[in-house]
Amino acid sequence: MNATASEDTGVGGAGPVERCEVLIVGGGMSGIAMGAMLAEQGIHDYLVLERSDGLGGTWHLNTYPGCACDIPSALYSFGFRPNPGWSRLFAPQPEILAYLRKVADECGVTQRARLRTEMRSAAWNEERGRWVVHTGGRVYESKWVLLGTGSLHATKMAEVPGVDTFHGQVFHSSHWPDGYTGAGERVAVIGTGASSIQLTPRLARHAERVHLFQRTPAWIQPRPNVPHGRGMRALFTRFPAAQRALRGAEWALGELFQAGALHRWLGELLGLLPKAHLRIMVRDRELRRKLTPRYRMGCKRLLVSNDFYPALTVGAVELIDSAVTRITEDGVVAANGERRAVDTIVFATGFHYGAGPVAHLVTGRDGRSMAQVWDGSPTTYIGTSVSGFPNLALLWGPNTGTASVAVSIEAQTGYVARMIASTRSQGFEVVDVRRQPEEEFKRRVASRLDRSVFAVGGCTSFYLDEKGKNVLLWPGTMTDMWRRMQHFEPRDYHVQPAGSGPAGARENHQSSSARTAS
């Protein structure tokens, strides 16, 4: 490892500075893949800052009962590190976490990680041509900053009046108390999204009563969670091509469902499956009415589950088809006036998407934060670069979502690693994406996604920002994203050759802007 600590206090007089070529912020799936991709390019002078006490990101933090991936395991893993040992078609959280940590160990990421280290600010220093990053107790200086903070770490707690007055336990699903099962308690679960449909059936096994508050129902399709027996695991180990074939089939199926969001006729055809699943699993007409979405399939995230609907048909779970408006000392009040006395409240309300709160912490060339530049609507070049923030990349940034997060991350981290290796080999010191390609990508996102079911399907979802723009999804297929990320084009960036100095950087940046404008 080449990162060095120094007693130099030249960066704001802040004390010892640790220097490296590349600083990765976040030790989840993006950070681990990024470290592996850098090593593949022969770049080993990097550090990973992770604010929690372990690598793994969302799979380290989310330990609620029933936690698992809703994307098939062969597709929710890296192509450069296939795992023949998955126990099921859809792997549970402990297996995914073990897989990610194994990749981190094998690729040298673990030894470069700084755990319990949270980025408090990151500012571009024009004179030094470096990023200066402050944490709680240390300063880091690096040529590159790669933000792998993801979208599944900043919890979204519903702002419900009275929550501070509640006498019982209150927690978000991603902060599950160790060993908590809800045994003998009356539990309120707020939300019916991806986390809720996994944890609610498990709570129903132990709780005296589960009161499930639903603001908006979701389309749910069956989850064919086929076990991978010893024979299948042996087959995948001995003949890797067999697992690649499975991954290819899952890839094609993912592309099909994503295409359903762009082509109405296909979306309606694919929507027959979740509709049939609801009708077969829920015989009670009134309950089925409450569970039937009033928007087109695909407008919100399509969920997968075999045990959620059955859990609602047993006596332990009560579905309250109304949003929560108030919390009292001993219970929950819904918008329809119904009240329930409970012992524990679980917020299964998801996360902040896009770049999340980290955008407020990053300051670019003109002294403005990324959040200020975006003003509520993230704008990037291929979900990766932001004009005015040189030598910085977003990992799984805005508009990089596809049918598989793992596929998106592998494609994007490969692109960023090639970008860094290319600038190294060509002698570039600073690269800053030009506004023209950034605007072109913005127009492509709008032209493809503003007409999609995500925008016109009759719902509001986490795909959209406060201005109604889709900030999550890639404007195309996984295959399209993979192809686009294979090549780094220096012509899309302002570049500063090594040795030209900060004045040269500014001159190069300005003259390139003038050429673009003309």
pLDDT of residue 471: 81
3-class DSSP string for 116-177:
CCCEEEEEEECCCCEEEEEECCCEEEEEEEEECCCCCCCECCCCCCCHHHCCCEEEEHHHCC
Return left, alpha or beta for 57; rule: phi > 0 is left, psi -120 to 50 is alpha, else beta. Answer: left
pLDDT of residue 154: 58
Residue 489 burial (10 A CB sphere; 0-12, 13-18, 19+): exposed
Nearest alpha carbon to residue 366 among 124, 10, 121: 124
**Quick one: tokens of 107?**
């690729």
Ordered by start, the domain boundaries in the chain are 4-154+352-517, 163-219+302-347
pLDDT of residue 301: 83
pLDDT of residue 95: 98
pLDDT of residue 327: 96
Burial 10-42, CB ≥16 within 10 A → b, else e: ebeeeeebbbbbbbbbbbbbbbbbbbbbbbebe
Class of CATH domain 163-219+302-347: alpha beta
Nearest alpha carbon to residue 277 among 332, 328, 219: 219
pLDDT of residue 141: 98
The answer to whether the CB of 145 falls within 8 A of the CB of 25 is yes
pLDDT of residue 504: 42
Residue 134 backbone phi and psi in degrees, to 5: -105, 135
One digit per residue, the tens of pLDDT, for the chain of length 518 reads 555 544 454 455 456 899 999 999 999 999 999 999 999 999 999 999 999 999 999 999 999 999 999 999 999 999 999 999 999 999 999 999 999 999 999 999 999 999 999 999 999 999 999 999 999 889 999 999 999 987 655 566 668 999 999 999 999 999 999 999 999 999 999 999 999 999 999 999 999 999 999 999 999 999 999 999 999 999 999 999 999 999 999 999 999 988 887 777 888 898 899 999 999 999 999 999 999 998 887 788 889 999 999 999 888 999 999 999 999 999 999 999 999 999 999 999 876 665 567 899 999 999 999 999 998 888 999 999 999 999 999 999 899 989 999 999 999 999 999 999 999 999 999 999 999 999 999 999 988 887 777 666 666 666 677 777 788 889 999 999 999 999 999 999 999 886 565 544 443 443 333 333 32
470 vs 465: CA distance, rounded Å: 6
- CA angle, residues 9, 15, 21, in degrees to nearest 5: 70
DSSP-assigned letters across all residues of 406-422: HHHHHHHHHHHHHHHHH
Q: Which CATH superfamily is domain 4-154+352-517 in?
A: FAD/NAD(P)-binding domain (3.50.50.60)
pLDDT of residue 516: 33
Dihedral angle, C-alpha 227, 231, 232, 236, nearest 10 °: 150
DSSP-derived 3-state class of residue 424: helix
Query: 4-154+352-517 with 163-219+302-347: one CATH topology?
Result: yes
Q: How are the residues of the chain apportioned to helix, strand and coil, as percentages rounded to the nearest 5?
A: 35, 20, 45
pLDDT of residue 15: 62
